[in-house]
Amino acid sequence: MLKSITRPATITAAALLLAGAATAQDSPAKISVVGTWNSMTNYNDREAPFWRSLPKETGGQFISTIGSYSEFGLKGFEIMRLLKQGVFDYAYGLPGYVAAEDAVFEGADLSSLAQDIETERKVAEAYFPVLEKAFAEIYNAKLLQLYPFPSQILYCRSEVTGLADLRGKKIRVYATTLGDFVEGAGGTSVTVPFGEVIPALEKGVVDCGITGTMSAYTAKWYQAAEYAYTMRVGWGLAFGAMNMDKWTSLSAGQQADLKARLDALTDRMWAETATEDDLAIRCLTGDSCPVSEGAPVGGMTLVTPTDEDLAARDRIAQEVILARWAERCGAECAETWTQTVGKVLGMTAEAN
C-alpha cells in the first residue's frame, strides 16, 4: 500500500551493508533512549525491539538502552528539554508536546487535513526539512524520524451520527490543533491526561475523547464510550531525534549506519501502522478482534463521516484550523508551509 513512498528493500540493505563496514573499527557508541508509552504497540513492537537488538545487530558498535515515558514517569512536554540537556541521547515524542516552544512543530499534523495515511506520509516528508531545522535551532537535536500512530478519531459516550452532533459537546484533546478542530465544529475542547479519560467519560466530565484507534482499543476506552466516529482528525505524528552533541560525536560511519537502520525502522512504522489502524477499528466496532486469540471486542457503534461531514470538515480545516495555526506561526512560517505541505494538499496557509 505504501510502495510508492517506501524505500526499496534492496537499497536499504545495501546502505546498511556499506554503513556497517564503515563502522567496523569505530569505538562503541553508548546511546540512552526514551521511548513513548509501554502500553502502545509503537513502543512494544518497534521502538523498544529496535534499540534493544541494536548492540547485537551491529556487533557491539552501538550499546543502547531504552525505557518508556511510563517507566520513567515522564510527561510528553518534558522530553525535548531533557534531550537538550543531555539527560537522554535519543528521544521519541509528539510534535504537539513541543509546539508551545514554536508553532512550527504543529505543521506536519494539523488536525483533519490528511484523511489517509499515504497522504500523511507525503505531508511528513515534505515538511521534514522544516522540522529538521527547527529541532536543531530550538533543541540542539538532530531529527532522524517522523512516523505515525494510528489515526486519531473520536469516541463518544452518547449517540453521534455525524459532525453536527459534536456541537455543544465537551471533547478531550491533547494538542492545540485538535482543539481548533473541536471548536470549529462547535464543541468545547478539554485537556485530560490519557490515563484519566475513562473516568472523565464515565462521570460526564467530557462527552467525547480523541486518541488513536489502537490506543483506544488497548486502553479499553470502549468501556466508557459507545460510539466511534471515524473522521480522521489527526495521525498522532511522532518524531525520533538525537541530541546534536551526541550525533556529532559519532563517526561518519556510525552516523551513516544508524541513519540507514532508523530509515528502515521508519518504513516499518508507516507500513505496520496502516495495517494496525484498520485492525483496531475492527476490534473496537466489529464482531471479532484478530489481534490475538480470544482478544475482546469493543462492541462500539461505528459511525463513518458522510459527504456532508467531509465538506464541513474542509471548511473547518481551511477557515479555522489552518488560519489559526498560521496566526500562531506567523507569515514566514505560513508561507514555508504553503510551499511544502501546501503543495501536497493543494492548500494555502494565510494568517487572518
Q: Per-domain residue ranges for the chain?
A: 3-149+236-277, 152-234+293-345
Grid cell at residue 161: 451520527
**Contact between residue 13 and residue 191 where contact means Cβ atoms under 8 Å apart:** no
Architecture of domain 152-234+293-345: 3-Layer(aba) Sandwich (3.40)
Q: Can you point out the beta strands (E) in the chain?
A: 29-35, 62-68, 90-93, 141-147, 152-156, 170-173, 188-191, 208-212, 227-234, 238-243, 301-303
CATH 3.40.190.170 fits 3-149+236-277, yes or no: yes
Q: What is the distance of C-alpha 307 from the center of its chain?
A: 26
- What percentage of the chain carries pLDDT values higher than 70? 93
User: What pLDDT does 23 receive?
Assistant: 47
Q: How far is CA 167 from CA 76, 161, 163, 182, 194, in A?
A: 29, 12, 8, 9, 23
Task: Check whether 51 has a pLDDT greater than 50.
Answer: yes
pLDDT at 24 (0 to 100): 54
pLDDT of 6 > 70? The answer is no
Per DSSP bridges, beta strands 62-68 and 29-35 are parallel
pLDDT at residue 93 tops 50: yes
Q: What is the mean pLDDT of the chain?
A: 91
The reported pLDDT for the residue numbered 5 is 39
From 92-101, 176-185, 299-308, the region with the lowest mean pLDDT: 92-101
Residue 231: exposure state from Cβ atoms within 10 A (0-12, 13-18, ≥19) = buried
As a whole number, mean pLDDT of residues 178-183 equals 97
Distance between CA atoms of 104 and 182, rounded to whole angstroms?
21
Single out the residue of 139, 262, 283 nearest to residue 215, CA to CA. 283
Q: Which pLDDT belongs to residue 216?
A: 95
Same fold for the pair 3-149+236-277 and 152-234+293-345: yes
User: For the range 81-86, what are the long-range contacts, defined as Cβ-Cβ under 8 Å and sequence gap of 24 or more?
Assistant: 82/34, 83/34, 83/139, 83/141, 83/241, 83/242, 83/243, 84/139, 84/140, 84/141, 84/243, 86/243, 86/245, 86/246
The pLDDT of 219-244, averaged and rounded, is: 96
